Amino acid sequence: MSVPILELKGLTKRFGGLTAVNDVSFRVEEGGISGLIGPNGAGKTTIFNLITGVYKVSAGDILYKGASIADKEPYKIADLGVTRTFQNIRLFKNLTVLDNVLTASHMSAKYGLAEALFRLPRFRRDEKALREKTMELLSIMGLADRAEVVSNNLPYGLQRRLEITRALALNPKLLLLDEPAAGMNPDETNQLMRLIGEIRGKFKLSVLVIEHHMDLIMGVCEHIHVLNFGCTLADGKPETVANDPKVVDAYLGAEETK
Amino acid sequence: MNLFLQQLVNGLSIGSIYALMAVGYSLVYSIMNFSNFAHGSVIMLGAYFGYYAMTLLGLPFLGGAVAAALGSAGVAIILERLAYKPLRDRRAPFLYFIITAMGASMFIDNSVIATIGPTPKMYPNVFGQGPISIGHIDIGRVDLAMFIISAVALVALILFIDHTKLGKAIQATAYNMKASALMGISPSFVIILVFGIGGGLAGIAGILYGMKYQVFPQIGAITLKSFIAAVFGGLGSLPGALLGALLLGILETFVSGYLSSQYRDLIAFTLLIAMLVIRPSGIMGKNAEDKA
Amino acid sequence: MEYILGIFELSAINLVAVLGLSILTGFTGLFSFGHAGFMAIGAYVGGILTKNLHYPFWVAIIAAGLSAGLVSIVIGRLTLKLKGDYFCIATMGFGEAVRLIFSNMNYVNGARGLADIPQFKGASLAIPFVVAVIAIVVAWNLVNSRQGRNMVAVREEELAAQMAGINVLGSKMVAMIASAVLAGVAGALMANFIGFIAPKSFNMTKSTELTIIVIFGGLGSISGSVIGAFLLTALPELLRAFSDWRLVFYGLAVIVIMVGRPQGLLGGSELTPSGIRKMLADRKAKAAFARAKAGGRES
């Protein structure tokens, strides 16, 4: 078996007395789309925060392409090729669409600070290439005609799309999507499903997605991991997981208390 | 030994004023999560309110103190309503609050300079002449008043916060504003309340400080010390602010007494930076990991 | 004529310091209460080098910028990890500490200040303008580079910036050093222009005045800072009669700007052909957005 792009091994996170994530292990295969589901408060976003280094791991390990990233700084993890979107969109709100994406592609430029301050040749060359590459990405993602719009003024659906575009600008190998369909209507959700499938192929990505929309999860994911109260409830193919009595129970139980 | 005790007494006296300022400032911080850097200007206005109440209106000291407390509380509330509330309503970034507070401080201080003028004013002497001697230790009358009144005000505040419904509402809001709002505690009301209390304490601090020294438009600068004290204790923690203030007061008098008064402030600021580097959450502050 | 020239000299000097603060506060979102501290370091280094050691102006100016920059590395290491208010209070502590150190230093005459510093005259009067132009170009290039964009990202959304692979602490450090170097250079220019410096010229009021100019010009705009620096330096000089009310007006203006027009004069935009195009495009998009919203509500 090949090395998975991401592997969690007994991952645990405690906040004071509260164990938010308890001994969770699963893997994301290279090139796959995996789903992470569970009722509210199950610890899904906490796992994203652990993978991306926002939180420090209490116990267990996170392997990216077989090497531990558990103690790395968030920005270094991003440089390695792991990036994410947020449940409550976090764009650089006052910047244009173009600048949002341009900012995220900063690692593609190699010029140093002195070269920037005095506009040396490499600065000009790199900046030009950066802009071309960014515009290309914007066209692929259907945002080219809005390049100069301040991102805060974009309609909601496009803000989500821009956040994904910004993530893609880093040339990631693993993309973590945190409830990308939140607040979308069925139509937009369908579009998003198609988009996720498309970018996986086009950018040679592996994707891990948190979602509540069961249609989306069942429609795009090849593998699903179910959490409940920070613990693993089930793990497997969509159809197996969907018929697992424990999963059905947790979801129905959650419905009842609502 | 006598020098030591004398310094300790002086330190407690100045520390108690710092405490009045730091507790009010920290109280507002605990609710709003931002530093009201205009606190010093409110203190300065309190000193003027007290001064005019006692000289123009001829009120006795207690009357002056009440006038200072009420006046400063009013100013703090007006400041909240006019300057901070619009920012809060707009969910403006944190930076804007600080900048606004700085602008407010500049506005108030310089308004006083432009209207009343920069000349220092002397409070009438209401406590009588000469120090009070206990054993070999001399205590200035104003210093004694500072200590007693600060202690009374702070004890009253602690009782209020721990044993009244309103006080509990403040605690609940500091802990979690959203949840408290759902429980029927109006955040807006609590915010007005803490600005009022913080302002009131600032007013009392202002009149006491003005009596010890003089009244002039820049005396608000002393609040720098209360920021340091609050950071020592842990921003947002009232017992922390109290402890930090007393420690700072004592430390300062000992530095002045045993080293040189020239180094007093320098050491205070150096300690501030050292504290921030070593333990930014202060003595009593929580060191929790942010939930992103 | 000489008077008018003097006002322009002062504006140019203030501009250099303001540009530094513009990078720190306007572009990176860090608010420093102690920036006058860096100016003081530059002013004293420049003053001592030209007066006591007889170095030429240029050497003194460069040395002043470097010294302030070096100190900022230490201060940055200590304080940049601090969040929000803690950072402000720490910088305030730094600014006051610097002022008190110079007040207690006998070599520089303590609180009485350093007098008889060689002044710019004749051809050397051009120095502040040359430096100001260099500062504008360098600041402009910085904020329009990837390093500058990273700073803005840090200001906008720290967490998202980290997820975009931006070293937040590193970006803040670059901003801090750049702003300190410019403040130090401005300090040396000030010393050599006025010929006299004292610790109390570099108190918190000085720090806040600089910040106010940045806010007035607009957070995140180099051209705004330039216009702000000239307007707010020249205006009070021309309106001497109201000098008591100048700071009252400044304070009020800050509140009004923050409450009513937080972008200041030109926040986030630049007065260049492409900047103006951007502004117009954005205005159109905003109007379309508002229309769409209103339409959505009706249906």
**The length of chain A, given as a count of residues:** 258
Q: What is the pLDDT of residues C219-247, one digit of tens each?
A: 889 999 999 999 888 877 777 777 778 88
Radius of gyration over every alpha carbon of chain C, rounded to an integer in angstroms: 20
C226 and A CB contact within 8 Å: no
Q: What is the pLDDT of residue B287?
A: 47
CATH of region B2-123+139-278, choose from 1.10.10, 1.10.287, 3.30.1460, 1.10.3470: 1.10.3470
- Asked if the model's pLDDT at residue B88 lies above 50, the reply is yes
Instruction: Mark yes or no for CB contact A75/C162 under 8 Å.
Output: yes
Instruction: Mark yes or no for CB contact A16/B291 under 8 Å.
Output: no
Q: What is the pLDDT of residues A130-165, one digit of tens each?
A: 999 999 999 999 999 999 899 998 988 899 999 999
Q: Are A58 and A248 in contact (CB under 8 A)?
A: no
Mutate to test the interface with C, among A82, A92, A122, A152 (most CBs of C within 10 A): A92
- The full DSSP string for C46-82 is HHHHHHTS---HHHHHHHHHHHHHHHHHHHHHHHTTS
Q: What is the pLDDT of residues A172-199, one digit of tens each?
A: 999 999 999 888 888 888 888 888 988 9
Q: Is residue C224 part of a domain?
A: no
Q: What's the one-letter identity of residue B263? A: Y
Radius of gyration over every alpha carbon of chain A, rounded to an integer in angstroms: 19
- Asked if the model's pLDDT at residue B239 lies above 60, the reply is yes
Q: What is the pLDDT of residue B291?
A: 41
Q: Is residue C59 part of a domain?
A: yes
Closest CA in chain B for residue C28: B95
Neighbours of chain C (3+ CB pairs under 8 A): A, B
What's the CATH code, domain A1-81+171-192+205-258?
3.40.50.300
User: How far is it, in rounded angstroms, from Cα B259 to Cα B7?
Assistant: 12
Closest CA in chain C for residue A167: C164
Q: Is residue C294 part of a domain?
A: no
ipTM: 0.89
Residue B289: list chain A partners with CB under 8 A: 15, 55-56
Torsion of CA B180, B186, B190, B195, to 10 degrees: 140
Domain of C150?
2-200
Q: What is the pLDDT of residue C175?
A: 97
Task: Domain count for chain C, please give it.
Answer: 1
User: What does each C-alpha distance from C199 to A1, B45, C44, C46, C89 come to in angstroms?
Assistant: 70, 27, 9, 14, 20
User: How far is it, in rounded angstroms, from Cα B105 to Cα A102?
Assistant: 39
User: How far is it, in rounded angstroms, from Cα C236 to Cα C242?
Assistant: 8
The architecture in CATH of the region A88-170 reads: 3-Layer(aba) Sandwich (3.40)
Instruction: Mark yes or no for CB contact A54/B292 under 8 Å.
Output: yes
- What pTM, to 2 d.p., does this model score? 0.88
Q: What is the mean pLDDT of residues B163-180?
A: 86
Exposure b/e, B236-256, CB count within 10 A at least 16 = b = bbbebbbbbbbbbbbbbbbbb
A18 and C CB contact within 8 Å: no
- Give the pLDDT band (50/70/90) at residue A1: low
